[in-house]
Amino acid sequence: MSAPRRVGHMFTPAGKIRETYAAGLLRQMLEIPSPSCHEGELAAYLAEAMTALGFTAAVDATGNVIGTVVRGTGPAVLLLGHLDTVPGDIPVHAAQGRLYGRGAADAKGPLAAMICAAASATAFTGRITVVGAVEEETPGSRGAMAIRETHPRPDVCIIGEPTGSATVVLGYKGKLDLRYAVRCPRAHPTSPAPKASELAAACWRALTDILGETGHTAFHLPGVTLNSIHGDTAEATACLSVRTPPGFDTAALVAALRAQLPVGELTVVNSVAACRADRRNQAVRALTAAIRRQSARPAVRLKTATSDMNTLAEVWDVPMATYGPGDSSLDHADDEHIMLDDYFRGVAVLADALGELSALPADNPAGLGRSQK
């Protein structure tokens, strides 16, 4: 495959993506709404943009956009971010060094940084594949599921999520999504018979009682959320989720909860295990070294949410980490934005880290020790 074209408005004389182009790419991505299950327009745009940057790019049958650039016979690196956002319109605008828009942090900023870094990483002598996956914000993670089933196992994988340009994330809690649906004969509100709405509320109480101590800020504890509850005395549904720590027995939890429910149906909508990378793996080392070369002190963290890293780590035992510019506290926020300086540093860190990863042998067996259920 030919090297990326050194088009003046895209690349500097040294072959790096210009900051003006990087900012324009991200702004255009923000201008294209892409809530979950409606990512097609953005995927098509990015296929064209990556082709113009020298990638071989296309949209796959699932809707993922995939761009590949080959610069030698070295290792295969997969950079995977996601196209979709939660619903909500935020007018796209720049102010005081910030770029606002739905997905600026979660996670169009990290995906745009990956595209720009891959185009700039002329020191990398191998294969780089950038994936914009669909439906990460949904329980099924359909895009990442398709990639792990159809894409060749890479030698290294970096997931694009907002960590901040000086932070690398080593792992995430798992997630168990549950739905409880119950129906009861219609009766007067004063009837002593159980009501569907009351049984749905009782399901939530039973779940919290079974779990005991919980916490959304502690990696070693489960975190529990009542996502929704609706209905009436005759028919009600509760949707619940549990963020699970490493080693958590989801089957035992589901069995215990079912035993507490006298009627109704409890359905496991989705379940993915926690994952935690070795901080000494090559992906983490390359990223932290690149952060230092940007004159910053690297930090490594664990996250209590869940990402496509969980999905891929279930089947790929390769060096893996999560990295991307942006502040994760702004995920899904009404004022979601990204600091442009952080974005540009993220591009530089990723491009530098890719250069370092060239030294890896292909088909490297070392990697991520994923948590077992």
Task: Label residue 372 by pLDDT band (50, 70, 90).
Answer: very low
- pLDDT tens, position by position, 150-192: 999 999 999 999 999 999 999 999 999 999 999 999 887 888 8
Whether the predicted model's global pTM rises above the 0.75 cut: yes
Burial of 280 (C-beta count, 10 Å sphere; 0-12/13-18/19+): exposed
pLDDT-derived band at 14, boundaries 50, 70, 90: confident
DSSP string, 310-355: HHHHTT--S-EEE--SS-GGGTT-TT-EEEHHHHHHHHHHHHHHHH
Mean pLDDT of the chain: 93
Q: What mean pLDDT do residues 19-48 have?
A: 98
Residue 12 confidence class, pLDDT cut points 50, 70, 90: confident
- pLDDT score for 5: 39
Angle at which helix 40-52 crosses helix 109-120, to 10 degrees, equals 20
Identify the pLDDT of residue 268. 97
What pLDDT score was predicted for residue 361?
A: 77
* Beta carbons of 227 and 144 less than 8 angstroms apart: no
The predicted structure's pLDDT at residue 13: 82
pLDDT digits (tens, 9 = 90+) for 310-336: 999 999 999 999 999 999 999 999 999
The verdict on domain 174-272 having CATH code 3.40.1400.10 is no
- Percent residues over pLDDT 90 in the chain: 87
Cis peptide before 351 (omega within 30 of 0): no
Nearest Cα residue to 153 out of 284, 280, 43, 314: 314
The answer to whether the CB of 313 falls within 8 A of the CB of 334 is no
Q: Helix (H, G, I), strand (E, B), or coil: what is residue 208?
A: helix
At residue 166, the pLDDT reads: 98
pLDDT band at 363 (very low <50, low <70, confident <90, very high): low
pLDDT at 300: 97
Q: How confident is the model at residue 359 (pLDDT cuts 50, 70, 90)?
A: confident
CA pair distance 270, 149, nearest whole angstrom: 17
In tens, the pLDDT along 189-228 reads: 888 889 999 999 999 999 999 999 999 999 999 999 999 9
User: For position 231, what pLDDT does the model report?
Assistant: 96
Tell me what percent of the chain is helix, strand and coil, each rounded to the nearest 5: 30, 25, 45
Please determine whether the domains at 19-172+274-357 and 174-272 fall in the same fold group of CATH. no
The partner residues of 266 in beta bridges, in order of sequence, read 180
Which strands, in side-by-side order, build the sheet including 235-244?
223-231, 235-244, 174-183, 265-272
Catalytically active residues are: 84, 136
Query: Would you kindly state where each structural domain of the chain is located, as residue ranges?
Result: 19-172+274-357, 174-272
pLDDT in tens, 37-65: 999 999 999 999 999 999 999 999 999 99
- Please state, for a pLDDT cut of 70, what percent of the chain lies above it: 95
3-state secondary structure of 157: strand
Q: What is the pLDDT of residue 186?
A: 87
Tell me whether strands 76-82 and 156-159 are parallel, antiparallel or unpaired.
parallel
Q: What is the pLDDT of residue 9?
A: 77
The whole-angstrom separation of Cα 35 and Cα 85 is 5
Q: What is the third-level CATH fold of 19-172+274-357?
A: Aminopeptidase (3.40.630)
